[in-house]
Amino acid sequence: MTEEEAVQYLLKTGLKFFRTGSREICSQAPTDTDVDFVVFDGKLKLKSKLLKDGFKNTGKENDRYKNANFFSYRKGETNIILTKRVEVFTSWHIATMAAKQLNLLKKHERIALHDAILKGDHAEYFDLMPKFIESN
């Protein structure tokens, strides 16, 4: 599934969603990576439709996300991150916008920022911060 097809697919659901990941965050967005969308589905009704429509559940394969408050599915170059928790959806959006504003090009920096905002896990992000932080 291409990015354009994914947008049309998600628009038909009537659910709130946004793009995240390197294609959204990096100022010179890579085109050789997958595209990620976060979707809010309070009743998780989309889970069965995604599987029926050929998406593979990929979240259960990654120990990092074993206890996460979201599910991830993949089809082609498209990843759909599905959550029923408003705070996860909004925190993910805040993290995406912050990473975009900072133009975090390195994946480990984006993950550290997301973990700090979504999980309150500040240690990894703190380690990435410079000794002296200038204000603009």
3-state class of 46 per DSSP? helix
Q: How many CB atoms lie within 10 A of CB 115?
A: 17
Q: Identify the CATH number of the domain in which residue 28 sits.
A: 3.30.460
Domain that holds residue 82: 3-128
Number of domain units in the chain: 1
Provide CB contacts within 8 A for 51, sequence distance 6+: 57, 73
The answer to whether residue 136 sits within a structural domain is no
DSSP 8-state class, residue 32: S
Per-residue pLDDT of the chain (136 residues; tens, 9 = 90+): 888 999 999 999 999 999 999 889 888 877 778 899 999 999 999 999 999 999 999 876 555 555 568 899 999 999 999 999 999 999 999 999 989 998 888 888 888 888 888 887 777 777 766 655 666 5
Q: Decide if 112 is inside a domain.
A: yes
Q: Calculate helix-pair angle for 86-102, 107-119, nearest 10 degrees.
A: 140
The answer to whether the predicted template modeling score (pTM) of the entire model surpasses 0.75 is yes
What CA–CA distance (Å, rounded) separates 100 from 115?
Answer: 15
